[in-house]
Structure formats: structure tokens, C-alpha cells
Chain A
């Protein structure tokens, strides 16, 4: 157990819908990362937050948004869902920003868009 929790574990929804994925980082970790793992694109970085502020964006679609709340948990919002959004979404957290800081991954949320 990495100490990072993600809910829900599985999510099945239809095209055009909107979903919210939730992540609680390890106690004391200020940095949160979201990654998407799909068969065709592999593991890709979506967005990073540090202590409530957006720090960097990666290959995140405009239909997707995220935020980190004062209690440091984070939510990833996916809207106007398409079949291609089906993937495993990981949240990871680290204590700080040093390159050496290990990123601890949550168990992921499996999103299926039908």
C-alpha cells in the first residue's frame, strides 16, 4: 500500500458524460500528479499540482480539468467523454519537488467509456 488513495476503483459511463476522479495523497505530500495509461499512448503525464497551485500541464485535453484543494486532495474532472478516454488514471504524490523525491502511485481508477 503506497498510502495514496483513489476513488472510485472502476467507473463505467457513456459517451458525452462527465466524471470526477478523486485522489488523496500520502500524509505530508504536497505534490500531486495525474497520469493516464492507455494501450495506444502508454503512460502519459496529464497535470501536476503543488500545495494547491497548478505547476505544470502535460498532454491534458481541454475537456479535462483538475484542482487541488486546501486539504491537498485532488480531483480530475473529465467531461464530454469519448471512447478514446477509456484508460487507467493514476494519481501519484511526492513530498516535495526535488528530483529525488519518490512519486508514490495510487491504485488507479479504471475508466470505461461505452
Chain B
């Protein structure tokens, strides 16, 4: 079974600075997707960024970028120019590419609580 590990329960960053959240995963599959979700105090789950395992190029979305190391099974999220609105729980998630059926469920890590200090 696939597992996702986030080793940093809490992180903090100064406004306008850069922070990196870590994530490692375990899978025997070769085709899969990785995601970072943000959960602000409102509890809404919001997709931040996603990465296809077959792509070597790291995904970027504005101030958010990932460092995807497939061999190391590592998928870290970098937030640049941190803003107060970035304060939230961040969840790393894994999803299989099931071409022969099965579940497309998301497997989540335990989350990292990010605090942004003004």
C-alpha cells in the first residue's frame, strides 16, 4: 500500500520569505500523481499544485513550486514570497494512475501546519 510521510508537523516563515515543506512517499508503481493541498482555517481543501510522475520537469504555479525527486520518492513544496494568506495546513497526497480499474483515491500525509509571521 502506498504511504505518504510529512516529517514536519509545524513550520513557520516570515512574510515575504521562502519556505519549503517536505514530503516523502512510498510506492511500487511507476505511474502516479502527487499533489499538495492547502487547508486554511475554513477547513476547505484547496489544490495548490500537482505533478505527474512521468514528467521530469518540476511543476510551478505562481509562487508555488515543487522539487520532485522520483528516485528518492521525494516531493517538496516551495512557497516563495510568503503571504499571510498562505497560513494553513498543507497536505501532500498521492494518487495512482489506475488504467485497469481500482481506486483513484488520494492517500494523504498527516499535514504540516504553516504559520506566516508578519
Contacts and interface: CB of A to CB of B under 8 A. Distances in A.
A103 B44 contact: no
Interface in A55-114: 55-56, 58, 88, 90, 92, 94, 97-103, 105, 107-108, 110
Contacts of A97: 98, 104
B43 A94 contact: no
Given A43-B91, A105-B45, A107-B43, A99 B97 contact: yes
Instruction: Say which size band chain B's interface belongs to.
Output: 20 to 34
B103 interface: yes
* Best-buried of B32, B42, B44, B97 by chain A (most CB within 10 Å): B44
B31 to A, nearest CB: 7
Contacts of A90: 45
Interface residues of A, number: 27
B43 A88 contact: yes
Interface of A: 2, 31, 33, 35, 42-45, 48, 55-56, 58, 88, 90, 92, 94, 97-103, 105, 107-108, 110
Interface of B: 31-33, 42-47, 50, 52, 91, 95-98, 102-111
Q: Which 7 A-B pairs have the closest CB atoms?
A: A56-B103, A99-B97, A105-B45, A45-B105, A43-B108, A99-B33, A42-B110
20 contacts: A43-B91, A45-B103, A45-B105, A45-B107, A48-B103, A55-B103, A90-B45, A97-B98, A98-B104, A99-B31, A99-B32, A99-B33, A99-B95, A99-B98, A100-B33, A100-B50, A105-B45, A107-B42, A107-B43, A107-B44
